[in-house]
Amino acid sequence: MSSWLAHLIAGLLWALAAYLLLISGYMAALCAGSWLLRSKGRGLPHGRVPSIAILVPAHNEEAGIATTVRDLLRSEYPAASREIFVIADNCSDRTAAAAAQAGASVIERFDTTNRGKGQALDWVLRSHAHTLERFDLVAFVDADMFVDPQFLAASAWAFAEPSVSVVQGRYTVSNPSSSWLSALGFMSFAYVNHVRPAGRTLFGGTAELKGSGMVFRRQLICETGWPAGSIAEDVDFGKELLFRGVRVVYAPSAIVTSDIPTSLRQVTVQQSRWEGGKLHVIRKFMGRTFRALVQAPSIALADALIDLIVPPLSAIILLALLGFGLALFLPAPPAWLFLVPLLVFGITVMSGLIQLRAPFRTYLYIACAPAFVIWKLVLLAKLATKPTETEWKRTPRDAEAARDADSASVDRKA
């Protein structure tokens, strides 16, 4: 190898090592913060209990909507201080009837030209603002959620601090032992939806919005509406709030969970939407966040910028292993530098599992992680080489996936 090429590769490896060490330091700080963050309190908050309107957007969720409504009705929160509103959005099944029978107030929407969850939320916030005026807080819970009895009370505790305007609850997986895919999904959620938002909240950053288990002060959400309508509408909105000076605060005791897909077809749809959404957010907000940080430096904006440059964990693993392999054949940088991100990654993921008290079987499925990482890298490569998705695609429910699988089997036999 010629000397100039060796120097070029060494320079690139030093740059890669610096990038990975920056990310590793950020992950390590968030991991430490996740251990230090404490919940505000248990039971009902002292003094006046804030009234909460719970909005549940639902599109053809007949099979599961009653369970979510019943969970919310069983909340350890005064019945007079809460009301459940199911937004039956362009439904062709009995979602509205099932929600009403379970005890929710139902708002139906029919607009086939302006489809999407974000669009439905914006419509109800603007067209039914008068209905929400009597509430202090507005919560958002997806139609396929299992809601902890303390979700509303834990959220209300977070708002005891006057500076808090938006709260994101802990959104995790309810079926970690169902399959290797759900176990790895639990690991991912433990890191993305618990460790990172906990650390970011502790150190003055924003927890971001996760799409469900979100609570807003009514004045704020009725003023803004739901301005984001992309496939990453929740993350979009969280970024816009940050530019308005509004941080999202994480409340680890406000818990909602949902079953994660157990078939590869379902996971592909879900992961494509999530990762495509992340690419959209990076392209849309990277330059804007940098400019805002230069103009008005703050911890929250610095945190947001670093968060944008942190790639998926599978990409971190690939970059670290690639750097390690090349460094073995060059005098600089030392190869061990590329093992640091892998060590930090492992500690961070294990911390999430321990903090969320993962079932023992979940740890056994870690052996399947290399196969999932390879699959994920292939998916990321495909997403990076095609136009950004603009249409929100719902993850097929188990019954729908089974029906499609049966149909495909019949077609093959035919």
* Tens of pLDDT, residues 109-159: 999 888 888 899 999 999 999 999 999 999 999 999 999 999 999 999 999
245 and 144, same domain (yes or no): yes
31 and 77, same domain (yes or no): no
Q: CATH number of the domain that 226 lies in? A: 3.90.550.10
The pLDDT assigned to 410 comes to: 40
* Tens of pLDDT, residues 212-260: 999 999 999 999 999 866 667 888 899 999 999 999 999 999 999 999 8
Separation CA 161–CA 38 (nearest Å): 14
pLDDT, mean of residues 74-80:
96
262 and 157, same domain (yes or no): yes
260 and 300, same domain (yes or no): no
Per the domain annotation, does 332 fall within a domain?
yes
Per the domain annotation, does 72 fall within a domain?
yes
Per the domain annotation, does 353 fall within a domain?
yes
Counted domains in the chain: 2
Cβ atoms 316, 19 nearer than 8 A = no
Residue 79 burial by Cβ neighbours in a 10 Å radius (0-12, 13-18, 19+): exposed
Per the domain annotation, does 400 fall within a domain?
no
Is residue 16's pLDDT more than 60? yes
Indicate the residue among 237, 266, 295 that finishes a domain: 266
62 and 180, same domain (yes or no): yes
Instruction: Name residues whose C-beta falls within 8 Å of residue 263's C-beta, 6 or more positions apart in sequence.
Output: 181, 401, 405
248 and 377, same domain (yes or no): no
pLDDT, mean of residues 350-366:
94
The pLDDT assigned to 398 comes to: 57
The pLDDT assigned to 411 comes to: 47
pLDDT, mean of residues 369-396:
74
Instruction: Show the domain range for 304.
Output: 3-36+284-384
Cα dist from 148 to 16, 166, 255, 256, 277, whole Å: 43, 19, 5, 6, 28
Q: Centre a 10 Å sphere on the Cβ of residue 270 and count the other Cβ atoms it contains.
A: 17
Q: Helix, strand, or coil here: 60? A: coil
Token pair recorded at residue 20? 């990975």
Least confident stretch, 145-154, 338-347, 363-372: 363-372
Cα dist from 178 to 81, 174, 183, 191, 261, whole Å: 36, 9, 7, 19, 9
Per the domain annotation, does 209 fall within a domain?
yes
Least confident stretch, 84-88, 180-184, 399-403: 399-403
Per the domain annotation, does 208 fall within a domain?
yes
Per the domain annotation, does 370 fall within a domain?
yes
37 — pLDDT class (breaks 50, 70, 90): very high
248 and 343, same domain (yes or no): no
Is residue 405's pLDDT more than 80? no
Residue 265 burial by Cβ neighbours in a 10 Å radius (0-12, 13-18, 19+): middle
Query: pTM for this one?
Result: 0.89
Residue recorded with tokens 């139609």: 143
242 and 133, same domain (yes or no): yes
104 and 182, same domain (yes or no): yes
160 and 189, same domain (yes or no): yes
Please report how the helices 313-327 and 369-384 are oriented relative to each other, as an axis angle in degrees rounded to 10: 100
Instruction: Name residues whose C-beta falls within 8 Å of residue 220's C-beta, 6 or more positions apart in sequence.
Output: 165, 166, 246
Which of 30-39, 375-384, 396-405 shows the highest mean pLDDT?
Answer: 30-39
248 and 337, same domain (yes or no): no
The pLDDT assigned to 116 comes to: 85
Q: What is the DSSP string of 179-213?
A: -HHHHHHHHHHHIIIIIHHHHHHHTT------SSS
Per the domain annotation, does 46 fall within a domain?
no
157 and 184, same domain (yes or no): yes
